[in-house]
Chains A and B, each alone.
Chain A
Amino acid sequence: MSTEVSANVVFEEDLRATGRAWGLLPVIVVVAFFAAAPVFAPVAAGAWFVNVLRFRNTKIRIDAERLSVGRRSVRLAALELSTLGRAGNTWPWRAFNRRYLGANPIWTNDSVGVRGIDEGRPCWVAVGTNRRDELVDALNGAVSAARTRAQSGTRSDGRALPPPAWHPDPWDPRSQLRWWDGQQWTGYTAPRRPGGPPPGIGAGGNR
C-alpha cells in the first residue's frame, strides 16, 4: 500500500493485494473444498487470481479537484456528502458507465460509497478501502473545499472560471456543444452546426 502522496494529492490508496490480503487465499480454497466440493478449490483459487489481476493497478486518489478510481474520475464538487456511506451492490451494467467508479476487492476491510450529480447526470463511487476513516475525512474536506471554490467561481489555482456559454462538448467536441453554467458542465447538449446561432437552453438543448 503506497503512502507516498504528492503535494496536490490529499489521499491515495493502492487497492492491489498485498501482505495480509494474501491470507484470504487459503481461506477461500479451504471453504471451496469443504463447503462446496473439492473440484471447486482450484476454480476458487483461479477466481482469486482474476481479482488480483483485475485490481493490480487500481488506486483511489483524491486531489484538489477530482476523485479518481483507476482510470475513471469524477469532480469532487459533484459528490453529495449526505449520501456518504458504505459501498452497495450496483446493477451489473453500471460497470460500463464511465461515471461509475467501482473497485471493491474482496480483501479490503471496509468500503466507502457516495453518489452525486456530475454534468447533470448521476455518478456513483463504490470502493473498498483499508483506511476508511482517512478516506472519509479526506472526502469531507476535499469535497467541501471544492464546492466552496466552485461557488466562488475560482479554480483550485485561484484563476476565475469562464462565464456561462455554449462550448464544444469536451466529450464530443466535433459534433455537439455543451452548456457551461459558469461553474460546471451541465447535461444540456445541442448539435454543432457551422455558422448557426447558438441554441437557447430551453428551446434547443437536450438533456
Chain B
Amino acid sequence: MIPIADENPVRRVPWVTILLIATCVVVYFVIQPTGAPKFRWDTVVERIDDEDLRFAVDNAAIPCELVRGRPLTEAEFNRTFSRGDEGDASACSHANGPKHAPGKPVFLALLATMFLHGSIPHLFGNMLFLWVFGSNLEERRGWWRYLLLYLVGGVVATAAHVAVDPNSTLPLIGASGAVAAVMGAYFVLYPNVRMKTMIFLGPVFLRKVQALWLLVIWVGQNLLLVAGPSGIAWAAHVGGFAFGALIGLGWVFGDRRHETAPSAPALST
C-alpha cells in the first residue's frame, strides 16, 4: 500500500520538508557515486557496485562500528565484502587491526546515513512518504519540533537496528527510519485522516484508506520481515515508528493538559 496524498491539506508551505527532500535528492544525485543514472528497469532494488559500496562503508552507519566505537578493520571489511553475496554479514570481532577507513567519524555517520540512499526507487519511496506524512506534522507542530523529530527519530531508528543486530558489518542507509518516526507521530495525531492510496494486490486498487489502517498494515508488513533476510532494516522502521508514536502521544497529552488548564484567578482589589 502506497499513499500518494491525504485529505489533510496544509495551508503553509512546508519548507523544512521540502529542504529535507531536496537535501536527500542532492546528496543522491550530486555526492553519492550512485547518482549516475543506473536505474534497473527489471527490479526495484539495485545491486551496488564497488564504488557505491566504498562510499557507503566510508560514510554510512554500521552497527559493528557503533558498538565498538571504531571504524571497521580491514579484516572485517574483507570478510564481509570480498566474496560478494557469500560474505559474512556479521564479521564484527574484538580483534583490533588496521582500519578500512581510519578517519571515519562513526557516530557522525548516524546523521549522515539518513541522507544516503541505495537506488532511485529507495529515494523516491522515502521522499514520497516524507512528503505525504511530514507536511502536516510540520504545519501542526512547527518547523523546529518537526526537524528534531526527524533527526532524533532517525538516530533512534538506527539504534533499534543496532540493538537487534549489533554484530552486523553491513552499512545501513536510507531516511526510512526517520520517515518512520514521522509516520508514527502522524499515526497518533491524525489516525482518522483518509489517505489516497494505491493498493498492490496483483491488480492495483485506488482507494482512500484511513491513516490508522494504512499504518497498522505498514507496521505489520515490517514485522513480517523479521522472519527472513530481506535486506530491509525492519527494526529501524519499527523502532523509528514506535519512537514517533511516543512523541506524538506526548504532543497530544501536552495539548490536552494545556487546553484543560484552569484560567488564572481574578485579581482581588
Which residues of chain B in 177-209 are interfacial with respect to chain A, using CB atoms and an 8 Å cutoff? 192, 194, 196, 198, 200, 203-209
Evaluate contact between B198 and A86: CB separation under 8 angstroms: no
User: Smallest CB-CB separation from A32: which chain B residue?
Assistant: B198
Q: Is the CB of A35 within 8 A of B204?
A: no
Given A28-B4, A38-B41, A86-B7, the answer on whether A43 and B204 have CB atoms closer than 8 Å is: yes
Tell yes or no: A40 within 8 A of B by CB.
yes
Most chain B CB within 10 A, of A24, A32, A35, A128, is at A35
Q: Which of B112-155 contact A (CB under 8 A)?
A: 120-121, 124-125, 128
Across the interface, do A34 and B121 meet the contact criterion of CB distance under 8 Å? Answer: yes
Could you tell me if A106 and B196 are in contact, using CB atoms closer than 8 angstroms? yes
Report how far A87 CA is from B209 CA in the complex, Å. Answer: 10
Question: Assuming the A-B contacts A34-B125, A109-B7, A111-B7, are A51 and B208 also in contact, with contact meaning beta carbons closer than 8 angstroms in the complex?
Answer: no
> B31 in the interface, Cβ–Cβ < 8 Å?
no
Report whether A36 and B7 are in contact in the complex, using a CB–CB cutoff of 8 Å.
Answer: no
B210 at interface by CB-CB < 8 Å: yes
Is A164 interfacial (CB-CB < 8 Å)? no
Number of residues of chain B lying within 8 A (CB) of chain A? 27
B2 interface hit (Cβ, 8 Å): yes
Q: Which residues from B are CB-within-8-Å of A104?
A: 194, 208
A53 interfacial contact with B, CB 8 Å: no
| A interface, size bucket | 20 to 34
Select which of B200, B203, B208, B210 is within 8 A of A106 by beta carbon.
B208
Chain A contact surface mostly: helix
Docked CA distance A48–B196 (Å): 12
Contacting residues, chain B, for A119 (C-beta < 8 A): none
CA distance A120 to B124 in the complex (A): 50
Q: Which of A51-97 contact B (CB under 8 A)?
A: 51, 86-89
Q: Which of B9, B124, B203 contacts A34 (CB 8 A)?
A: B124
CB contacts (< 8 Å) of B121 on chain A: these are 34-35, 37
Q: CB distance A46 to B204 under 8 Å?
A: yes
A88 to B7, CA, bound (A): 12
B44: interface (CB < 8 Å): yes
Is B15's CB within 8 Å of the partner chain A? no
A144 to B43 alpha-carbon distance, docked (Å): 57
For residue B253, CB closer than 8 A to chain A, the reply is no
Contact indicator per residue, chain A 22-51, by CB within 8 Å of chain B (1) or not (0):
001001100110111110100110111001
Contact of A111 among B41, B194, B198 (CB under 8 A): B194
CB distance from B149 to the nearest CB of A (A): 23
CB-CB under 8 A from B208, the residues of chain A are 87, 89, 104, 106, 111, 128
Give chain B residues whose Cβ lies under 8 Å from the Cβ of A43.
203-204
A46–B207 alpha-carbon span in the complex (Å): 14
Could you say which residues of chain A place their CB within 8 Å of the CB of B7?
86, 109-111
**Nearest Cβ on chain B to A9's Cβ, whole angstroms:** 26
Q: B246-267, CB under 8 A of A: which get 1 and which 0?
A: 0000000000000000000000
| In the bound complex, CA of A44 to CA of B202 (Å) | 10
B213 contacts chain A at the CB level, 8 A cutoff: yes
Interface contact B2-A31, CB-CB below 8 Å: yes
Task: Tell me the complex Cα distance, A88–B195, Å.
Answer: 11
Decide: B44 and A31 in contact? CB cutoff 8 A: no
22 A/B residue pairs, CB under 8 Å, sorted by A: A24-B4, A24-B5, A27-B4, A27-B5, A34-B121, A35-B121, A36-B198, A37-B44, A38-B41, A40-B204, A43-B203, A51-B206, A86-B7, A88-B192, A89-B209, A104-B194, A104-B208, A106-B196, A106-B206, A106-B207, A111-B208, A128-B208
List 6 extra interface pairs beyond A31-B198, A48-B206, A89-B208, CB under 8 A: A28-B4, A31-B4, A34-B125, A44-B204, A87-B194, A128-B208
User: Which residues from chain B sit less than 8 Å from chain A, CB to CB?
Assistant: 2, 4-5, 7, 9, 41, 43-44, 120-121, 124-125, 128, 192, 194, 196, 198, 200, 203-210, 213
Going nearest first, the 7 A-B pairs with the smallest beta carbon separation are A34-B124, A47-B204, A35-B125, A106-B206, A44-B204, A43-B204, A106-B196
Which A residues are within 8 Å of any B CB, using their own CB?
A: 24, 27-28, 31-32, 34-38, 40, 43-44, 46-48, 51, 86-89, 104, 106, 109-111, 128
